């Protein structure tokens, strides 16, 4: 058996309608009857049956073209952020390649210095004591 829901005053429904419309304007979304019905704890069908004028009003708002928002859209911001991340990634890749080349250079230089040290240690030093004997 379904629960009996008391009729809500139209003023309260219109107040919630205005809040839903304001919220939709802020988030750049379209209002829906279901959105308002859930907010009032009603089923979609019950809301449409009890408040057909408000349901039509929501449908009119839904079909009306949305006014363009000032400033960049969410999509534009994401595209710009993506481009910025790609530039940063490219810069970091370049820096990584440069650091890798420097590490290779230092490894080769270390190898040459190591060889020079080994050759230098094979040189016999002449002690002044051994000359005296």
User: Which stretch, 61-65, 67-71, 81-85, has highest mean pLDDT?
Assistant: 81-85
Using CA atoms, how far apart are residues 76 and 82, in angstroms rounded to an integer? 10
b/e 84-100 (16+ beta carbons within 10 angstroms → b): eeeeeeeeeeeeeeeee
Residue 3 to residues 41, 43, 132, Cα–Cα distance (Å): 12, 11, 120
Question: Confidence band (pLDDT; 50, 70, 90) for 69?
Answer: low
At 52, phi and psi to the nearest 5?
A: -65, -35
Using CA atoms, how far apart are residues 100 and 112, in angstroms rounded to an integer? 19
pLDDT of residue 129: 57
């Amino acid at each position: 058996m379904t629960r009996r829901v008391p009729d809500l005053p139209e003023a309260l429904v219109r107040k919630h309608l205005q809040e839903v419309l304001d919220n939709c304007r802020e988030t750049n979304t379209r209002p829906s009857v279901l959105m308002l019905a859930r907010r009032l704890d009603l089923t979609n069908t019950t809301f449409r049956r009890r408040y057909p004028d408000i349901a039509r009003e929501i449908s009119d708002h839904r079909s009306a073209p949305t006014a363009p928002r000032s400033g960049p859209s969410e999509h534009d911001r994401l595209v710009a952020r993506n481009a910025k991340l790609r530039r940063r990634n490219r810069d970091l890749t370049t820096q990584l390649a440069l650091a890798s080349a420097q590490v290779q250079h230092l490894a080769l230089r270390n190898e040459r210095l190591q060889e020079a040290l080994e050759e230098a240690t094979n040189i016999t030093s002449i002690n002044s004591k051994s000359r005296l004997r």
